[in-house]
């Protein structure tokens, strides 16, 4: 029963995060990118902080390390991530964006090896990183005459978002904050939402009228705020406690499958052989980087 519950939570997490990418595509039809991200985390922070304040014994950050971790989370994991990811999705499809974003585990391993001296990458590990980057290049498919095309620009922006998320996660671990991860995440969502509203104002993004908030737009925003943010992170930290980081982060390779299927079915987004081939290369890269952990998992 325990394994069945873990599997159900894992699948739910994949559906929540995979559904984010087509939901962003829908939201961008009426709202500006940064404002859309700000509204998403307004809702996510409201739900997450409400839960933390009601259910956690000590819901407030108490130490300097907690404060720095929340600052890193709100800036890199929320604000900068959203700016590059959502702007990137203006230029490419949700399925392609999700494949580029699935580089996170590979990039995190590389950052941890360099910044935290957690293990080291041998020749096959570096080959895995190269495979991941080549997979992203294949997805971007830049031709000599169209290097600056929309897809290439979108992939580059989403790649920056993936780098920021990976770096933010490693820096947070280096700080060793004592507060529970869900507590820190809830506060990071709240401060990140404030940052995003300020960035939106600085960019001069237009304020949408009531007509922009159609039932479809409200459904997309509600899904991103409640399910893809508050609920998904609660599930993620539950699985981290139960399964560990490696098994939980395998969800990164469920997310693109969900995003691609939903994008094709709901939004008629094309799925090309280059997109699929690029995803396969990214997965092979991850398998090389994490081959010892995979062998241990398969052995169990």
Report the Cα–Cα distance between both ends of the chain, in Å, rounded.
18
- pLDDT category, 272, cuts 50, 70, 90? confident
With a pLDDT cut of 70, the percent of the chain lying above it is: 96
Name the more confident of 295 and 92. 92
Which of 40-54, 70-84, 260-274 is least confident? 260-274
Average pLDDT, integer, range 54-79: 93
Query: Looking at the predicted structure, is the pLDDT value of residue 239 above 80?
Result: yes
Which pLDDT score, from 0 to 100, does residue 18 have? 95
Query: Looking at the predicted structure, is the pLDDT value of residue 145 above 80?
Result: no
Average pLDDT, integer, range 240-267: 88
Q: What is the 3-state secondary structure (H, E, C) of the chain?
A: CHHHHHHHHHHHHHHHHHHHHHHHHHHCCCCCHHHHHHHHHHHHHHHHHHHHHHHCCCCCCCCHHHHHHHHHHHHHHHHHHHHHHHHHCCCCCHHHHHHHHCCHHHHHHHHHHHHCCCCCCCHHHHHHHHHHHHHHHHHHCCCCCCCCCHHHHHHHHHHHHHHHHHHHHHHHHHHCCCCCHHHHHHHHHHHHHHHHHHHHHHCCCCCCCHHHCCHHHHHHHHHHHHHHHHHHHHHHHHHHHHHCHHHHHHHHHCHHHHHHHHHHHHHCCCCCHHHHHHHHHHHHHHHHHCHHHHHHHHHC
How far apart CA 88 and CA 265 sit, in angstroms, is 21
Query: Looking at the predicted structure, is the pLDDT value of residue 101 above 80?
Result: yes
Q: Which of 126-135, 137-146, 186-195 has the highest mean pLDDT?
A: 186-195
Query: Looking at the predicted structure, is the pLDDT value of residue 144 above 60?
Result: no
Average pLDDT, integer, range 71-93: 96
Which pLDDT score, from 0 to 100, does residue 84 have? 97
- Contact (Cβ atoms closer than 8 angstroms) between residue 84 and residue 158: yes
Which pLDDT score, from 0 to 100, does residue 75 have? 97
Average pLDDT, integer, range 33-42: 97
Which pLDDT score, from 0 to 100, does residue 198 have? 98
- pLDDT category, 151, cuts 50, 70, 90? confident
Query: Looking at the predicted structure, is the pLDDT value of residue 221 above 80?
Result: yes
With a pLDDT cut of 90, the percent of the chain lying above it is: 62
- How many residues belong to the chain? 300
Average pLDDT, integer, range 171-195: 94
| Parent domain of 50 | 2-299
- pLDDT category, 146, cuts 50, 70, 90? low
Which pLDDT score, from 0 to 100, does residue 142 have? 59
Query: Looking at the predicted structure, is the pLDDT value of residue 87 above 70?
Result: yes
Query: Looking at the predicted structure, is the pLDDT value of residue 45 above 60?
Result: yes
Which pLDDT score, from 0 to 100, does residue 119 have? 67
Which pLDDT score, from 0 to 100, does residue 300 have? 65
Q: Which of 208, 269, 233, 200 is nearest to 73 (CA)?
A: 233
In whole numbers, what is the pLDDT of the chain averaged over residues?
Answer: 90
Query: Looking at the predicted structure, is the pLDDT value of residue 143 above 80?
Result: no
Query: Looking at the predicted structure, is the pLDDT value of residue 65 above 60?
Result: yes
Which pLDDT score, from 0 to 100, does residue 148 have? 61
Q: How many domains does the structure of the chain reveal?
A: 1
Name the more confident of 225 and 135. 225
Which pLDDT score, from 0 to 100, does residue 11 have? 93
- Contact (Cβ atoms closer than 8 angstroms) between residue 184 and residue 69: yes
């Amino acid at each position: 029963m325990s394994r069945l519950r873990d599997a159900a939570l894992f699948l739910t997490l994949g559906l929540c995060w995979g559904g984010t990418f087509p939901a962003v595509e829908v939201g961008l039809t009426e709202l500006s990118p940064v404002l859309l991200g700000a509204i998403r985390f307004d809702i996510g922070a409201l739900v997450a902080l409400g839960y933390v304040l009601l259910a956690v014994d000590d819901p407030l950050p108490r130490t300097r390390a907690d404060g720095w971790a929340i600052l890193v989370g709100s800036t890199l994991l929320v604000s900068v991530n959203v700016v590059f990811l959502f702007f990137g999705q203006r230029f490419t499809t949700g399925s392609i964006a999700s494949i580029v974003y699935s580089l996170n585990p590979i990039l995190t391993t590389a950052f941890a090896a360099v910044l935290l001296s957690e293990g080291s990458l041998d020749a096959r590990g570096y080959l895995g990183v190269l495979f991941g980057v080549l997979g992203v290049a294949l997805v971007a498919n830049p031709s000599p005459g169209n290097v600056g095309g929309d897809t290439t620009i979108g992939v580059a922006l989403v790649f920056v978002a993936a780098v920021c998320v990976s770096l933010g996660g490693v820096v947070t671990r280096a700080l060793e904050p004592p507060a529970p991860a869900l507590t820190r995440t809830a506060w990071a969502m709240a401060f990140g939402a404030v940052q995003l509203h300020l960035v939106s104002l600085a960019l001069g993004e237009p304020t949408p009228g009531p007509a922009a908030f159609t039932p479809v737009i409200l459904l997309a925003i509600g899904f991103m705020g409640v399910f893809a943010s508050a609920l998904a992170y609660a599930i993620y930290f539950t699985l981290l406690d139960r399964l560990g980081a490696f098994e939980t982060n395998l969800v990164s390779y469920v997310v693109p499958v969900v995003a691609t299927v939903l994008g094709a079915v709901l939004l008629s987004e094309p799925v090309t052989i280059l997109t699929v081939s690029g995803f396969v290369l990214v997965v092979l890269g991850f398998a090389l980087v994490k081959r010892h952990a995979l062998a241990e998992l398969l052995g169990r």
